[in-house]
Copies of this chain bind each other. A is one copy, B any other.
């Protein structure tokens, strides 16, 4: 069989399994998740043997320790997978939910029912726990899954696939509800993203180059996460204490997440009241500050002024994911919104202000997946937003935008109830 044939066989099996899975009861799906949690805990030793094969191969290839670390299924990571499964089992099932049924002039009742999308393809790198996390969210939302993990986690993923198949069969569900692509050949990705007849949506999880490549080549819709160039804008009428606290947290609570602030915009009229204190915090934490000319002019009298580097045009477009921050002074809301529209990535942006009208204009006019008032951009997260779980954060505008939980893995259909009604 060619790779193409293998993937077509997988896709066909997934499409076929998606029908009984869509009709499965909540209890059946939850039992499967709980059973899998127990299986994983009971298979701890065997799982570590499989994982060790991946780790040895990675070390033999001279991979760096951080890479090997991401790959390792420690005892804690294994317990974490089981715990994650129990949490997903405890979430409400979105499938089958029937919204308000509104009576139309013809007499029919019309409403929406929430249903699974069908078959979801997940393409990811490194961490083998994604195999279990992604399978659990797709299963709970009634979708069949085709999982394509990184070749570096091949043995771990295959072992986990076996456990998942056992758990599905124990609940009378087709094992093809969750399939892990059995080959490490890169052509498998190309095949997966071009079979809309078998796969309804692709969710890539990984680095930007993986996601860009998939988006460019896919004929299946992609729920993608690209850049997070997030802004905090300190408006002239901000409470300085809140401004400093939020701007500190948005940048320094963690540097690597996509919802960390990368550019700070500050109104001229408040710069001298917030920036000295804030910059001292940043510098004490080792954050490199790349600033506009006006920022440096305003703060030139401070002893640390020589530490303020100039920002280039490129800085405004850069997602650092590191202890680096670009800072620009602006003249009011319109200029701040213009900056965000021109340089931002429509991910997450926050305004700090006490002025209600200004806050409402920011919420309405900044075209980002998450817009905030007086809160840290770091809140843009499925758990913090109350979704209970997160398969990723979408920078798409259509279907799922921002943090994606179980509901983002479903769609809606129209339901019409008549009593012999015909159209006249």
Bound form: Cα–Cα A196–B219 in Å: 14
- Having A374-B419, A375-B421, one finds 17 other A-B pairs with CB under 8 Å, namely A19-B341, A22-B364, A106-B384, A118-B367, A200-B397, A221-B221, A242-B420, A245-B420, A367-B413, A370-B416, A372-B416, A372-B417, A378-B422, A378-B423, A398-B399, A398-B411, A403-B414
Please, which residue of chain B has its CB at the minimum distance from the CB of A96?
B364
**A interface residues, Cβ below 8 angstroms from B:** 19, 22-23, 96, 102, 104, 106, 108, 110, 113, 115, 117-118, 200-201, 216, 219, 221, 239, 241-242, 245-246, 248-250, 253, 341, 350, 361, 363-365, 367-376, 378-380, 384-386, 397-399, 401-403, 411-424
Bound form: Cα–Cα A341–B22 in Å: 13
Bound form: Cα–Cα A113–B411 in Å: 19
Q: For residue A398, which residues in chain B have a CB less than 8 angstroms away from its CB?
A: 117, 200-201, 221, 398-399, 411
Copies of this protein in the assembly total: 2
Please, which residue of chain B has its CB at the minimum distance from the CB of A243?
B420
Partner among B22, B365, B417, B423 whose Cβ is within 8 Å of the Cβ of A23: B365
Bound form: Cα–Cα A414–B377 in Å: 12
Bound form: Cα–Cα A368–B413 in Å: 7
Please, which residue of chain B has its CB at the minimum distance from the CB of A338?
B19
Contact B371 A414 (CB under 8 A): yes
Q: For residue A242, which residues in chain B have a CB less than 8 angstroms away from its CB?
A: 419-420
Contact A401 B412 (CB under 8 A): yes
Contact A399 B402 (CB under 8 A): no
Q: For residue A118, which residues in chain B have a CB less than 8 angstroms away from its CB?
A: 367, 397
Please, which residue of chain B has its CB at the minimum distance from the CB of A375?
B418
Q: For residue A102, which residues in chain B have a CB less than 8 angstroms away from its CB?
A: 386
Contact B341 A414 (CB under 8 A): no
Q: For residue A221, which residues in chain B have a CB less than 8 angstroms away from its CB?
A: 221, 398
The smallest beta-carbon distance between A377 and chain B, in angstroms, is: 9
The smallest beta-carbon distance between A164 and chain B, in angstroms, is: 24
Contact A422 B370 (CB under 8 A): no
Contact B380 A422 (CB under 8 A): no
**Given contact pairs A249-B423, A384-B104, A421-B376, A371 touches B416 in the complex (Cβ within 8 A):** yes
Bound form: Cα–Cα A410–B151 in Å: 40
The smallest beta-carbon distance between A305 and chain B, in angstroms, is: 27
Contact B414 A370 (CB under 8 A): yes
Bound form: Cα–Cα A5–B175 in Å: 52
Contact B371 A245 (CB under 8 A): no
Please, which residue of chain B has its CB at the minimum distance from the CB of A372?
B416
The smallest beta-carbon distance between A121 and chain B, in angstroms, is: 14
The smallest beta-carbon distance between A156 and chain B, in angstroms, is: 31
Q: For residue A414, which residues in chain B have a CB less than 8 angstroms away from its CB?
A: 369-371, 380, 385, 401-403
Bound form: Cα–Cα A1–B403 in Å: 42
**Given contact pairs A115-B367, A398-B398, A379 touches B416 in the complex (Cβ within 8 A):** yes
Bound form: Cα–Cα A245–B423 in Å: 10
